[in-house]
Amino acid sequence: MTYISENYDVGIIGAGHAGIEAGLACARLGCKTAVFTINLDAVGNCPCNPSIGGTAKGILVREIDALGGEMAKTADECLLQMRMLNRGKGPAVQSLRGQIDRRKYSDIMKHKLELQKNLYLKQAEITDLEFSDGSWVLTTRTGATHKCKCVIIATGTYLSGKVFIGETSFESGPDGIFPSVFLGDSLKKLGLSLRRFKTGTPARVLRSSIDFSDLEEQPGDDDIVHFSFENGFLREGENKVMCHISWTNDKTKQVILDNIHRSPLYSGKIEGAGPRYCPSIEDKIVRFSDKPRHQLFIEPCGETTEEMYLQGMSSSLPEDVQLSFYKTIKGLENVQIMRTAYAIEYDCVDPVQMNNTLEFTDFPGLYGAGQFNGSSGYEEAAAQGLVAGINAALKVKGKPPFVLDRASSYIGTLIDDLVTKGCSDPYRMMTSRSEYRLILRQDNADARLTPLGYELGLISEERYNAFLNKQELKKQEMKRIRETVISPGDELNKILVSRETSPVSTGVHLAELIKRPQLSYEALKSVDVNRPTLDKAIFSEVETEIKYEGYINKQQAQIEQMRRLETKNLPFDIDYNSITGLRLEAIEKLNKVRPANLGQASRISGVSPADISVLIIWLSSGRGR
């Protein structure tokens, strides 16, 4: 029996990292929004690592914040340890990673959803989705039907989830929560083509069973940069925990190889494609058999728990095998497993069925985000949730869509990759996926995106004014640095010589000095007498933009070139079969992806440069109009 329940502007299936950002964005943009979750205690759950960020992912988090999302602020609130990764490798690849208290993260997020005006958080399993009488209708397991103008599917690993531990397997969501068992069939009935992906997580072990005495420590940074631009920028040590490093060895390898036949991955029980860039330990040992050892990180899961997470050691081997190989590792000789490592298989879609607003091309008003779209990772999910939420809200309001291109952000790159190239395994964000790394930095995410967030209505007046003030100070300082001439003298030359760079005999622009790789803004403090007192974040951003000016300009030129192809729009209703000269494979792919413009078309695998040339000729001969 079903009954007619509330109507909503937007209905969101799932309250994980994607569902949260989607829900908050919709509600904040004035839409009556329902967020459905199978279990209210799993809102914003972190079923894998107890950390937010990482290479490239940390930049995503800052971008989410710059647009007015929530992930960064919540992570800052429950931060246990913060590190800026790749500190010595240059500004383009630096990214934050914070260890967080995962229960606290979940609680804070849940509370924020509860407090949010226009947002209704409901514990309910959605079992059916259909389009009828101009609305999307969501039906719950208990028979409530909700009419929604737009629906965002953010089902994570719950959709037809199945857990594998060695020979054992059972239907389940992550962390032993019920899976979503009916929705998959409903989506297939609707006409979405679903496929299986797989991911996995390591064991959680009891802190007191670990011998830390001989393990290498991994402390947080002394100077903490927070995820959120709102939380001040730099603060002295707030690291509450220590992480540790250990290594696998020959014995670990032997135990795993002796039991590899018991792995569901190798016996063929798991059909889903696993994440190439986050392999299980048995995968690493088999694929990189010449490597004598693999690194693992031991990370605390929170302040009020003794559970420890073994990063790098995910596995779907049987429980007894897990225990044996964990015990071969230094420090874990007497380890007590609290939660067994497992692999989980789930349904997701091929994201090329969507356009770059994350709306299904063939199903107006239906959006997808997160692992449902084939990505992996909390940050990737949150980024998509935010964009899907913004677009659903804009659609409800009858406003034009919000699209971020590759040159604007990692978020734009992520979505463009997904909807253009699709993915054959869970997609993880990496710095190498962006062509414009030196421009898409973690430190300037606000300059890139906050004006857009403000325009959308997700950034408060107060925050926007603070942002404008920061940009103005930055601009003034850039100007001052370019105009300041440092006169030659013993003090300056002492600095130059001590840093192994050539001394000067004439006056030299401060900017020119900063451009020397051996010199830093900090090193020149004593000769730069008129230096104003500014936030450290401004200094470091200014320093980067001056030091890397030439490279930044080079990337900017590439962006201009890219955007030229990007402005050549391809109508969605083109019948590519009718264009003479396109290769068969290209016709198929183009009909499937339906790219918005030539630039996007050029990134589709299977569409060759010759095909692009054909399209350019076709467009310029006036047929595109």
Partner 1 sequence: MNDKTIAAIATAQGQGGVGIIRISGENAFDIADRVFTSTSGKRPHSMPGYTASFGHVCDENGNNLEAIMLVFKKPHSYTGEDVIEISCQGGVYVTKSILRAILDNGAYPAEAGEFTKRAFLNGKMDLLEAESVMNIISAKNKTALKAANSVLEGKLGKRLKSVKEDLLTVAAHLSAWADYPEDEIPAVNEDEIFTAVEKASNALQALIDECDRGRVLTEGIDTVIVGKPNVGKSTLMNMLSGSERSIVTDIPGTTRDIVEDTVNLGNYTLRLSDTAGIRFTDDIIEKIGVDKALDKINTGELILAVFDGSGKLSEEDKHLIDKISNYNCIAIINKSDLPQIIDREYISQKIQHIVYTSAISQEGADNLIAALDDIFSTGAFNPGEGILAGERQRNTALSALEALIEAKYSLQAGYTLDAVTVSIEFAIQELLALTGERATEEIVNKVFERFCVGK
- The closest of 478, 483, 507, 482 to 493, measured between CA atoms, is 507
Give the chain's end-to-end CA distance (angstroms, integer). 51
CB 613, min distance to partner 1, A: 5
* Closer to partner 1 by Cβ: residue 421 or 437: 437
Check residue 169 for interaction with partner 1 (CB under 8 A).
Answer: no
Say how far apart CA 303 and CA 319 lie, in whole Å.
27
Judged by CB under 8 A, the residue of 30, 90, 401, 451 near partner 1 is 90
The number of residues that bind partner 1 (CB under 8 A) is 53
* Closer to partner 1 by Cβ: residue 7 or 558: 558
Mask of contacts with partner 1, 37-56, x by CB under 8 A? Answer: ------------------xx
CB 298, min distance to partner 1, A: 13
Check residue 205 for interaction with partner 1 (CB under 8 A).
Answer: no
Question: In angstroms, what CA-CA distances link 82 with 25, 68, 77, 93, 570?
Answer: 27, 21, 12, 16, 44
Whether 51 and 69 have beta carbons less than 8 Å apart is answered as no
Alpha helices by DSSP H, listed for 264-409, are: 281-287, 319-327, 378-396
* Closer to partner 1 by Cβ: residue 304 or 580: 580
CB 618, min distance to partner 1, A: 7
| Partners of residue 195 on adjacent β-strands | 348
* Closer to partner 1 by Cβ: residue 88 or 398: 88
Question: In angstroms, what CA-CA distances link 55 with 61, 91, 227, 251, 302?
Answer: 11, 12, 13, 31, 22
Judged by CB under 8 A, the residue of 217, 398, 622, 625 near partner 1 is 622
Please, what is the angle between helix 17-28 and helix 378-396, to 10°? 30
Strands (E), 16-125: 33-37, 51-53, 79-85, 95-100, 119-123
* Closer to partner 1 by Cβ: residue 146 or 421: 421
395 burial level (CB within 10 Å; 0-12, 13-18, 19+): buried
Structure tokens at 564: 């030229």
* Closer to partner 1 by Cβ: residue 533 or 621: 621
DSSP 584: H
Region near partner 1 per CB under 8 A, out of 63-71, 411-419, 533-541, 579-587: 579-587
Judged by CB under 8 A, the residue of 465, 469, 498, 613 near partner 1 is 613
For 164-212, what is the HEC assignment? EECCEEEECCHHHCCCECCHHHHHHHHCCCEEEEEEEECCEEEHHHCCC
CB 84, min distance to partner 1, A: 10
Site for partner 1 in 549-578 (CB under 8 A): 550-551, 554-555, 558, 561, 564-565, 568
Check residue 614 for interaction with partner 1 (CB under 8 A).
Answer: yes
Judged by CB under 8 A, the residue of 460, 498, 502, 620 near partner 1 is 620
* Closer to partner 1 by Cβ: residue 28 or 437: 437
Query: Within 13 Å and on the Cβ side, how many CA atoms surround 435?
Result: 18
* Closer to partner 1 by Cβ: residue 122 or 421: 421
Site for partner 1 in 427-486 (CB under 8 A): 430-432, 435, 437-438
* Closer to partner 1 by Cβ: residue 83 or 103: 83
* Closer to partner 1 by Cβ: residue 122 or 294: 294
Residue indicated by tokens 């860039």: 277
Judged by CB under 8 A, the residue of 11, 19, 91, 453 near partner 1 is 91
* Closer to partner 1 by Cβ: residue 14 or 279: 279
Whether 64 and 383 have beta carbons less than 8 Å apart is answered as yes
Residue indicated by tokens 């699709």: 422
Residue 585 CB contacts under 8 Å (≥ 6 apart), including other chains: 606, 607
CB 217, min distance to partner 1, A: 14
Q: What is the dihedral of CA 24, 27, 33, 34, to 10 degrees?
A: 30
| Partners of residue 137 on adjacent β-strands | 130, 147
Check residue 330 for interaction with partner 1 (CB under 8 A).
Answer: no
CB 66, min distance to partner 1, A: 21
Whether 365 and 152 have beta carbons less than 8 Å apart is answered as no
Whether 427 and 583 have beta carbons less than 8 Å apart is answered as no
Q: Return the H-helix or E-strand segment holding 586.
A: helix 584-593
Site for partner 1 in 210-269 (CB under 8 A): none
CB 212, min distance to partner 1, A: 18
CB 130, min distance to partner 1, A: 42
Structure tokens at 364: 């107006």
* Closer to partner 1 by Cβ: residue 8 or 436: 436
Check residue 579 for interaction with partner 1 (CB under 8 A).
Answer: yes
Whether 410 and 379 have beta carbons less than 8 Å apart is answered as no
CB 427, min distance to partner 1, A: 14
Check residue 62 for interaction with partner 1 (CB under 8 A).
Answer: no
Residue indicated by tokens 């994607």: 18
Mask of contacts with partner 1, 487-526, x by CB under 8 A? Answer: -----------------------------xxx--------
- The closest of 145, 15, 415 to 24, measured between CA atoms, is 15
Judged by CB under 8 A, the residue of 59, 92, 183, 383 near partner 1 is 92
Judged by CB under 8 A, the residue of 335, 548, 576, 590 near partner 1 is 548
Residues in the chain, total:
625
| Partners of residue 205 on adjacent β-strands | 308, 337
Site for partner 1 in 264-293 (CB under 8 A): 277, 291
Check residue 591 for interaction with partner 1 (CB under 8 A).
Answer: no
* Closer to partner 1 by Cβ: residue 430 or 534: 430
Check residue 602 for interaction with partner 1 (CB under 8 A).
Answer: yes
Neighbours of 95 (CB within 10 A): 25
Check residue 159 for interaction with partner 1 (CB under 8 A).
Answer: no
Structure tokens at 99: 């260890």
Residues within the interface to partner 1 (CB under 8 A) = 55-56, 85-86, 88-93, 277, 291, 294-295, 297, 430-432, 435, 437-438, 516-518, 548, 550-551, 554-555, 558, 561, 564-565, 568, 579-581, 583, 598, 602, 608-610, 612-614, 616-618, 620-623
